[in-house]
Amino acid sequence: MKFRTELNIPPSRFSIGHTDGVMLIGSCFSINIGDRLQKYKFTGITHPFGTVYNPVSIARLLDYAAGAGIVDNKNLIFSSGIWVHPDFHSSLGSPDRERAAEGINGAIVQAGECLRRVKFLFVTLGTSIVYKWDRTGNIVANCHKLPASEFARQTVPAQEGAEALAAAFDQLRKINPAIRIILTVSPVRHVRDGLIENMRSKARLFETVDILCSTFDNVSYFPAYEWVMDDLRDYRFYTQDLIHPNEQAIDYIWEKFCDHYFDEKTRALVKSIGKVLEGLGHRPFNPDTSEHKSFLAKLQEDIFRLEQDHPWLKIERE
């Protein structure tokens, strides 16, 4: 008997290794995968601009990073006690105007340097519902708690979202011809927009993804949305807000991610690093026992061997 519909896909035609370089941008869901990649010592960067949800704003951020320009502090706005920019998350803001501009431009430079050397870019789309600012006529990445009356709520048609991202992807290929781009659609539902509107929004994103995958030979799709919504398909895999996937769901997606993108050698290394990290996290009841001292000696030996076999690997430890 089968009690759920399981999604199983074949391994990717390319594999991701620890030193390949991975960058993740977009919706907060990709932070979960990015955190796992960082935990297991993959090189790269996660969300240099903070969370951003819609395809137009994501495309604009990629343009910034690919060299389209930097932010002038004259374009910053003061809201809720900090200076911020409508194209960037408030986490890059600051009470000091100059520092805010420096922080944003520093993130642009860091992301640009990363994009020039990484082999993989993951882009997670969250919603096609956007807000256009009356002052500039531009779609913003973040409203920064400005009065709602200053914004017009709109939707981004699938073709428009695809065209914005396609232009950004063309720029990326100019600075990094070998880059591979993996698109995902976040399973996090934007219930504030309404459940029906959320489903329509996600449908537009799927069409955007289909257009891009059909247009570019270096663009593919990872079905995180389907694994949560169709495979797990149960509220016990959500946090208390019934919107965000919980740790168990994220672990499940990570397992599928590993199966899809890692070869046998990389999976073995992830397992070895995981054992070491588990050991480093162990807190003994009595640290002065001979058993614990033997445990620490064995752990130190395992770390030394890992770092000897993989010179790029640096495991933080006390």
Q: Which residues make up the CATH 3.40.50.1110 domain(s) of the chain?
A: 22-262
pLDDT band at 253 (very low <50, low <70, confident <90, very high): very high
Q: pTM value?
A: 0.93
243 pLDDT more than 80:
yes
Q: What is the pLDDT of residue 292?
A: 76
Residue 97's pLDDT is what? 95
Predicted local distance difference test score (pLDDT) of residue 110? 94
Q: Which amino acid is at 40?
A: Y
Residue range 114-132, pLDDT digits in tens:
999 999 999 999 999 999 9
Residue 22: what pLDDT? 96
Which H or E run includes 57?
A: helix 55-63
Mean pLDDT, to the nearest integer, of 132-151? 94
pLDDT at 288: 74
Beta-carbon contacts of 127 under 8 Å, excluding residues fewer than 6 positions away, are: 27, 53, 54, 190, 193, 198, 201, 202, 205
pLDDT per residue over 145-168, tens digit each?
999 999 999 999 999 999 999 999
Q: Give the CA-trace dihedral at 138, 144, 149, 154, to 10 degrees.
A: 50
Of 71-85, 231-245, 282-296, where does mean pLDDT reach its minimum? 282-296
Cα 221 from Cα 12, distance rounded (Å) = 10
Give me the pLDDT at residue 68, please: 66
Q: Which pLDDT band, with edges at 50, 70 and 90, does 199 fall under?
A: very high
Q: Which of 114, 102, 131 is nearest to 34 (CA)?
A: 114
CATH of 22-262, one of 3.40.50.1110, 3.40.50.720, 2.40.160.40, 3.40.50.12660: 3.40.50.1110
What is the pLDDT averaged over residues 260-276? 95
Q: Mark 157-187 as b/e (b = at least 16 C-beta within 10 Å).
A: ebeebbbbbbebbebbeeebeebbbbbbbbb
With a cut of 80, say whether residue 265 has pLDDT above it: yes
Q: Euclidean distance between the first and final Cα of the chain, in Å?
A: 50
Confidence of residue 283 (pLDDT cuts 50, 70, 90): confident
Q: What is the tens place of the pLDDT at every residue in 74-99?
A: 999 999 999 999 999 999 999 999 99
Q: What is the percentage of the chain residues whose pLDDT exceeds 70?
A: 99
Mean predicted lDDT score pLDDT of the chain: 92
